[in-house]
Amino acid sequence: MPFITVYTTNKNLAEAKKIANSLLKQKLIACANFFPIKNMYWWKGKIENDNEVVSILKTRKENWNKVKNQIKKLHSYEVPCIEKFNVSANKDYENWIIKSTKK
């Protein structure tokens, strides 16, 4: 059963949880993990240094567009990072992802 992991960065834990909670309530994701990170990147002609929170969201492959659009709608960044990874896992976990989400 194909499913995906969606990786996105957020300005803080509150924003990450707000987005994940919305996706969970709509059953668009099965779960979310949060990790604090430090990063450097180009933005508007200069190098920035920031602290952010990464969200790793698990869902079925066919929910990609809905998840992506909901993140864009709720995210505070002008250009949010929203990446999709096709993944596989043990059968029991994959079944749980499918049962915990809807199309």
CA–CA dist 58, 80 (Å, integer): 18
pLDDT of residue 58: 98
Contact 79, 70 (CB under 8 A): no
pLDDT of residue 70: 98
The residues of the chain scoring below 50 in pLDDT are none
Tokens representing residue 91 in the block: 């059968």
- Give the total number of structural domains in the chain: 1
Q: Give whole-number Cα distances, 28 to 45, 50, 51, 56, in Å.
A: 36, 29, 27, 13
Instruction: Assign residue 32 the CATH number of its domain.
Output: 3.30.70.120
Domain that residue 34 falls in: 3-82+90-100
